[in-house]
């Protein structure tokens, strides 16, 4: 059955809600220490929710059925693709994204040394760490899809760099 022929009936809607709820518990986790829960209680909650999330996902897939699950998957990935980073970006956007990506990494390397010389910096370590991580992740989206391909190529042994304007004779290729 084609996904365009499927109507989003109550079964598909219920399965979608179950998928969302199965992932949503992760958002509660960082709040628990602030509410005074012990590490043991948080660990117990995490373990129970991992198992509950798996059960909810399997139940959601069973409720939706094969065609319903394909419909949900197509809709979610279609939404993410349309709202994700563009494949190519302008030179200015690339430079801004590269600065957003590299700056938190450099600050992370310099942090242990800066704490030794600047009083009071350690008080805001968590907040600055979270801000740095968010800037780094935002930088990945600003950089666009071509940068994701470059990043992905780090994990392939056979990948090689091609700089515009350079000869490729070393790789057995020609321009």
DSSP-derived letter for residue 23 is: H
CA distance 49 to 39: 15
Quote the distance between the C-alpha of residue 74 and its chain's center. 19
Model pLDDT, residue 125: 79
Spans of all domains in the chain: 3-83, 91-171
Model pLDDT, residue 80: 72
List the alpha helices (DSSP H) in the chain: 10-28, 39-83, 91-117, 125-143, 145-153
Distances (CA, A) of 140 to 72, 102, 129, 148, 159: 26, 10, 17, 8, 20
CA distance 100 to 27: 25
The one-digit pLDDT tens for each residue of the chain (175 residues) are 444 566 778 888 899 899 888 888 888 888 888 899 999 999 999 999 999 999 998 999 999 888 888 888 888 888 877 776 677 888 999 999 999 999 999 998 988 888 888 777 777 778 888 899 999 999 988 888 788 888 888 898 888 877 776 655 555 555 4
């Amino acid at each position: 059955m084609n996904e365009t022929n499927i109507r989003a009936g109550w079964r598909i809607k219920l399965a979608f809600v179950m998928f969302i709820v199965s992932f949503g518990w992760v958002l509660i986790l960082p709040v628990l220490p602030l509410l005074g829960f012990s590490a043991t209680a948080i660990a117990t909650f995490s373990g129970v929710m991992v198992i509950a999330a798996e059960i909810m996902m399997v139940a959601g897939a069973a409720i939706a059925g094969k065609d319903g699950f394909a419909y949900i998957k197509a809709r979610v990935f279609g939404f993410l693709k349309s709202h994700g980073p563009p494949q190519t970006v302008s030179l200015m956007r690339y430079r801004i994204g590269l600065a957003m990506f590299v700056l938190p990494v450099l600050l992370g390397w310099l942090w242990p040394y800066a704490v030794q010389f600047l009083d009071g910096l350690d008080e805001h370590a968590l907040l600055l760490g979270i801000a740095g991580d968010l800037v780094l992740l935002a930088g990945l989206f600003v950089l666009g899809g071509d940068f994701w391909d470059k990043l992905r190529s780090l994990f392939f042994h056979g990948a090689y760099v091609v700089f515009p304007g350079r000869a490729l004779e070393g790789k057995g290729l020609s321009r």
